[in-house]
Chain A
Amino acid sequence: MAETNTIRARPVKGPPIIQSEVFAMIIFVFADVMFFAGFISAYALVGARAPVGWWPPPGDPALPVAAAGGATVALLLSGAAVFYAGWAARSSLANAVRPLGVALALAVGFLGYQVFEFVRLLGVGFTLQSSAHGGFFYTMVGAHGLHAMSAVAVLAWAMRLVAAGTLSPGAFGAVRLYWYFVVLLWPAIYLTVYL
């Protein structure tokens, strides 16, 4: 009679393919990308329909391309800082505090510039109702600004929990993904509206 060897084995549930928080954020970002894609497409269509030389309308003030470009660089640098924070957190969560602080400072600077620009443009009569261009400008830039504002609040919350050492990897991943979205969306809006 042949000898019998027995093996008792069962696959054990391993780590999830993706954290729930990150997956939820992916779905949210997906919807938001389509939201802004609609704005950008509408802007392109209205601009294409205008007679040559009439878009933006001649009466509208020139948008501060260089200053907004500087704000764009600050926002991109904050994205790089958050990326570095995620990399640094692999060894220890405490290492992410400083880069998150840098990102937060740059993001607040970006938002401060946006507020300053809105106030200045409103002061010279460029409003939501002054022209279709004005409507698009305040809607698109304002919608992005609201996203940036909420992202700054979330980033500050994450930084506080990172400093306390209590932020879960999934939540940290979701916060970083949201910030990457806000950062990478802005160049698309800048290229569409300002240039």
Chain B
Amino acid sequence: MIRGGLVLALLAAPSVANACATCMDPREGSRTLLWVTIFLSLLPLGLLASIGSFLWWRARTSLAVVAPSPDLPPLEIR
């Protein structure tokens, strides 16, 4: 009963439930929130791309070593 009343009260006054400390930027024209959102969104992607590129480069530059082996069936060349 009390819980239901609380939900109804919040529906009647939604601004009370606005708990986001950064959703309202009082300085008109400030784009800090936008830039921070872009920064935090792109940073992990940039890091992953950097690590992936580095590993790809390391794999490309590592030499493939070929040595004789008696285990495999012989490759026939005619």
Binding site for B on A (CB under 8 A): 2-12, 14-15, 17-18, 26, 30, 33-34, 37-38, 41, 44-45, 47-49, 51-52
The A-B contact count (CB < 8 A) is: 85
Query: How distant is the Cα of A30 from the Cα of B71 in the complex, in angstroms?
Result: 42
We find that the number of chain B residues with CB closer than 8 angstroms to chain A is 35
Give complex CA distance A47, B64 in Å.
Answer: 54
> Complex: how many Å from CA A108 to CA B56?
37
Neighbouring A residues of B48 by C-beta, 8 Å: 30
- Bound complex: CA A44 to CA B77 (Å): 68
| Chain A residues in 8 Å Cβ range of B77 | 4-7
Q: Of A9, A18, A34, A45, which is within 8 A of B72 by CB?
A: A9
The CA of A85 and the CA of B48, in the complex, are separated in Å by 28
Q: Do B51 and A11 touch (CB < 8 A)?
A: no
**A10: chain B residues within 8 A (beta carbon):** 66-69, 71-72
Give every chain B residue within 8 A of A12 (Cβ-Cβ): 65-67
CB closest chain-B residue, reference A45: B22
Stretch with Cβ within 8 A of A (4 or more), from B1-9, B10-18, B23-31: B23-31
Given contacts A6-B76, A15-B62, A38-B40, are A30 and B51 in contact (CB under 8 A)? yes
A15 CB, min distance to chain B CBs, angstroms: 6
Contact A17 B78 (CB under 8 A): no
